[in-house]
Structure 1
């Protein structure tokens, strides 16, 4: 026997129902049943056969929909326009995603009466539309014209597969919690997240004990939540309100902090904290109760992660009242406590000791930065290392007049590694202009771009200008030229190049090996080899990784990997031994052939 939503899909009917009525009736027929994974399937009639217009370009398809919508809005009779719209849109033969994009970018009239007519057409399409093309066009218009009364209709449409992304876009300006719920319907994976979606779908609001309990059950450790999932969970359950209602609920504060940490992390993605609609209030609520947190190693590491982000990450550039960000940062550090050796006693395993060492290093770094005088140099370089219990990239961060550059100028990825920017000498300024890549998108430059600047010396100043973003990301500020005192700039570059305080032993060893090969490149070239990436392994931070390329036994150029586990001896000794071994024999004899 077919499931209820399948019976509706397969049942023959003379007149197809609107997609809104179809979704509403499916849900009302059995409101207690969990939603199907990724939502209810669309009825067969929702995707009419496309006309033979597959040879049109994307822009031509957009223009076709734009012309149809403009013609409909020019029709004097609103009812006639609404009646003509489904057939006219279907005749374009476009996919529903194109119909949505064209409607979302359609120039809106200034006249209030004309805007009201456009809104009426949008509502007719979304509430009465029987195909994804008609509904998507209405959703595109509602991204800018929607009002509170549209939310129940959009929520119902969000229960259907295939149009969830468009529904989220229309809901987001109106109700972030409902938008997040719809997003989770289509993107949630794992039993715990699906159980949360089921609790939210009951419709009793986020104040129910079921929603709270399902939220508490979500695994947040690595790999755990990605940043985007974490943000949508926080918005769907209204995490700030949830925490304010029950600050003493066992585990709730720790879970809220962990979700906040996921939003400020990257995990091979973009940070999401600036997209969270209630980020400042969530930080404030956490800070008000953070003294209740047990003084465990993992909790202290989470607070240090939040403090580091407030200092130089995306959290820094939220809309903070004057001085409030600094107060919250100090609150977090005071709860973490002094970075003394007692942290090492909290765990005897290598991972725990590594994490404790990171807490000590990072707290010292943050407190030293807080002690800088108000007249400190306007240009500062810092290296941000993520919690080794939840590994992430090691990035170079730039603070100009105290504000982090990359989060404001380029939101799609972290700053380049310190080996790439600092150790290479690329940031040194000469009279010859040099273009430098400061940051790359999480998914590589070829996909979503990168941020470049040209560095040059001009008399008594160093100038950063010629900004270039290799992507079309919208909403980013225009970047003007920065002029730095040349003496102060050179001093900051020299300080950053000398600084080893951020590096753990294996990473220090890697930097020393790379420096040695820069001084003696013949250590590899004598064997017909070319140096590659030298750092630590992402999932094995206590192992130094030396990579190089060269011909294998058949003469084909390949990549080789040489892993050097940290044996506890000083990094200087480990690096010297590695360089000696490279000079004395062909490393292809002991390195791993990759691919």
Structure 2
């Protein structure tokens, strides 16, 4: 095929935009496809060049076309050159994101022609990358249609985020939203039916399992949550859903605190909290408002762009509301449902925490925060320096480490010998997306935090973190660490029992070692927080110093359900049993291998 014939073949097919528009118009009742419409057959590409080679090749090929006066001919040339290069679409977008735009008007015109008339994914991606830099509101309707095509959602959302966040959120939700109620909301928004959208919003289940933090943010953006709350009347069901959406965005059970990515967060908080008095005083509503207060007090929400005193006024309003007799009586009831009971107990322990005012916001403050049990009871040690939460500001890929790791171990204590301490780990794991480390050292009358280490994850767009050195008055630092270590007000009975058992084993490691057992994780059961769990690994020969690293081993779990006995008594009894009876006789095998279990004479657990 000649170059002219190849050019004609490339540009004679219907555009991808026209393809998406035709498919959508054929849908009954304006139905929106989940995961997008399939693309028509595309020219074969090998992606033979690596990323660095692709960036250079794409720039060399396309930069001369960005100022061409005849955009029709320039677009045809883009099709042909990208086909000849045979590079991946993501490399095309990366290359076009940094090319110089000498004439933005010409670049915009070319970007529009490529997105509206492009027949290959390579050409359309080049157009999207241009509009990501110079697009205008008139491009939004075309981009929304392109976002219906499989494989274009991420690129289209990136462009729309700069132009029209509600449209970007709607495209994202169209592609990913699951559940009948959420799909109905998406279709009401796409149809421009505000009344139906308000009704559908109130119907969506917004529990932790159904609505990840990222989805909550996209819903809030798509419905224009802050503006919706200002409309008269907002209605208690909408107010309740708004609180749940903001609460979901503050969750740390994700890679980022989505509340910091929500551009209307301050406006939404400012509109919501004065309306909270409309809500009936129920356990769920109390838990939602308390969760918001905790985050405003010491979580990522404290980092939003607040006006002076604005955040404090919102906290005062929540304190005043939750302190009224009807709201204060909510956690005093004893529900029969296990989760509701845990939530009531959590509220009793936590109700005052976000409203305690430190003598000064300067220096170091440490607080242990437990999230609503409906959100899998995340427990984190929050560190505030000069009133600002350190981990979400400096790291942001996971919560602060648990108090057992940072406080019970004494890791935050300062000595003359420098100590490197991990303050937080990425939600996925350190090996995937990193962790935040600091070196703590006492120098005369000061405690110094320095030599920060926060390796960037693979392919991270941001350079390694650069943090300042922090110096604290040593006496004030020691007092704050000691206060945090001694504060058990956040903990519940099963967790208190676990901490006491762990402390006993730190003092007497021989209690396990004598049974050829090596201590593992000690805490509460992930699915039943009212059960204390002691884990250990059985290594034959450990007590005699003859442990074989390549030999058979088994992991055991010993579960101790809460029976109402005070934690100190339960821990004492557990330590006494460890001292007198081999724990392998009453714990359950949970790890290792069936082969190792057979070799060591233990039954392998049945599949659950």
Distance (whole Å) between structure 2 residues aligned to residue 408 and residue 483 of structure 1 = 18
In structure 2, the partner of 1:265 is: 251
In structure 1, the partner of 2:430 is: 445
Distance (whole Å) between structure 2 residues aligned to residue 538 and residue 481 of structure 1 = 37
Secondary structure of the 1:382 match is: strand
Deviations 1:191-232 (A, max 9, x none): 222222222222x2xx52221222121111242211000110
In structure 2, the partner of 1:107 is: 99
Secondary structure of the 1:457 match is: strand
In structure 2, the partner of 1:504 is: 492
Residue 482 in structure 1 maps to residue 470 in structure 2: yes
Q: Contact conserved, 1:227 with 1:269, CA < 8 A, in 2?
A: no
Report the Cα offset of residue 32 of structure 1.
2.2
Deviations 1:400-431 (A, max 9, x none): 11111111111111001111111111111122
In structure 2, the partner of 1:40 is: 37
In structure 2, the partner of 1:144 is: 133
Secondary structure of the 1:389 match is: helix
Match of 1:49 among 40, 44, 52: 44
In structure 2, the partner of 1:201 is: 190
In structure 2, the partner of 1:286 is: 272
Match of 1:17 among 14, 17, 20: 14
Report the Cα offset of residue 342 of structure 1.
6.0
Distance (whole Å) between structure 2 residues aligned to residue 367 and residue 134 of structure 1 = 56
Distance (whole Å) between structure 2 residues aligned to residue 469 and residue 523 of structure 1 = 37
Report the Cα offset of residue 512 of structure 1.
0.6
Secondary structure of the 2:589 match is: strand
> TM-score by structure 2 length?
0.89
Matches within 5 A, 1:143-222: 143-202=132-191, 204=192, 208-222=194-208
Q: Contact conserved, 1:268 with 1:392, CA < 8 A, in 2?
A: no
In structure 2, the partner of 1:569 is: 565
In structure 2, the partner of 1:303 is: 289
Distance (whole Å) between structure 2 residues aligned to residue 473 and residue 315 of structure 1 = 24
Deviations 1:297-325 (A, max 9, x none): 11011100000000011111101100000
The gaps in structure 2 that reach 5 residues or longer are 1-8, 542-549, 592-608
Secondary structure of the 1:399 match is: strand
Q: Contact conserved, 1:333 with 1:363, CA < 8 A, in 2?
A: no
- Which 10-residue stretch deviates more, 509-518 or 426-435? 426-435
Residue 230 in structure 1 maps to residue 216 in structure 2: yes
In structure 2, the partner of 1:463 is: 448
In structure 2, the partner of 1:123 is: 112
Distance (whole Å) between structure 2 residues aligned to residue 250 and residue 318 of structure 1 = 26
Residue 61 in structure 1 maps to residue 50 in structure 2: no
Match of 1:517 among 502, 505, 516: 505
Instruction: Write out the 4+ residue segments of structure 1 that deviate beyond 6 Å after TM superposition.
Output: none
Residue 352 in structure 1 maps to residue 328 in structure 2: no
Residue 535 in structure 1 maps to residue 516 in structure 2: no
Number of residues paired by the alignment?
Answer: 570
Distance (whole Å) between structure 1 residues aligned to residue 87 and residue 34 of structure 2 = 27
The gaps in structure 1 that reach 5 residues or longer are 1-11
Report the Cα offset of residue 160 of structure 1.
1.0
Q: Contact conserved, 1:303 with 1:333, CA < 8 A, in 2?
A: no
Distance (whole Å) between structure 1 residues aligned to residue 555 and residue 386 of structure 2 = 43
Q: Contact conserved, 1:266 with 1:392, CA < 8 A, in 2?
A: no
Distance (whole Å) between structure 2 residues aligned to residue 122 and residue 220 of structure 1 = 39
Report the Cα offset of residue 240 of structure 1.
1.8
Deviations 1:23-69 (A, max 9, x none): 2233334472312222221112xx31014x53x33322233223222
Q: Contact conserved, 1:18 with 1:129, CA < 8 A, in 2?
A: yes
Deviations 1:137-192 (A, max 9, x none): 22122222211121111111111111100000011010000000000111111222
Distance (whole Å) between structure 2 residues aligned to residue 342 and residue 32 of structure 1 = 45
Task: Sort the Cα spacing of 1:535 and 1:402 in 2 relative to 1 into closer, same or farther, 3 A.
Answer: same
Distance (whole Å) between structure 2 residues aligned to residue 473 and residue 494 of structure 1 = 39
Distance (whole Å) between structure 1 residues aligned to residue 276 and residue 328 of structure 2 = 20
Distance (whole Å) between structure 2 residues aligned to residue 577 and residue 280 of structure 1 = 50
Report the Cα offset of residue 504 of structure 1.
0.7
Report the Cα offset of residue 463 of structure 1.
0.8
